Amino acid sequence: MKKSLAAGLLIAGALGVVVSAQADSRTRFMAANCAYCHGPDGKSRGAIPSLAGLEKGYFVEQMKAFRDNTRPSTVMSKHAQGYTDAEYEALGAWFASHK
Ligand code: HEC
């Protein structure tokens, strides 16, 4: 009885790791869409601003402003349309952790 409980907990723990790893790779995949212009891991080497190290709150605000066209942009308004608020948050956290 005790053994099967322990095994169940182990499996639940392992599943938790798989789920969070999936969430992370999904965010990485989304962030890769930005690399062409913003540089690998959001570290730009050109005129386009870096995303790496941007404060998450600022990042999310800019994405919403691009989406709603309250911040004028050349291309970002189109990119921002493709993501949900939750995805802005995930991307913001990801770039904030890549300094
Ligand atoms: C085709 C090139 C291109 C791609 C791809 C691209 N961006 Fe941008 N990004 C820009 C440009 C250019 C700007 C400057 C504003 C403008 O002109 O649109 C910018 C600005 C930004 C800013 C504002 C930065 C600041 O310091 O205020 C954020 C945030 C941003 N982009 C996020 C993203 C995210 C997230 C993605 C991927 C989902 C992405 N961008 C994909 C070209 C791109």
Question: 36 CB under 6 A from ligand 1?
Answer: yes
pLDDT at 24: 82
User: With bands split at pLDDT 50, 70 and 90, how would you rate the model's confidence at 5?
Assistant: low
Question: Is residue 89 exposed (0-12), middle (13-18) or buried (19+ Cβ within 10 Å)?
Answer: middle
Question: 84 CB under 6 A from ligand 1?
Answer: no
pLDDT at 17: 57
pLDDT in tens, 23-78: 588 999 999 999 999 999 999 999 999 999 999 999 999 999 999 999 999 999 99
Q: Which amino acid does the sequence have at 11?
A: I
User: With bands split at pLDDT 50, 70 and 90, how would you rate the model's confidence at 1?
Assistant: low
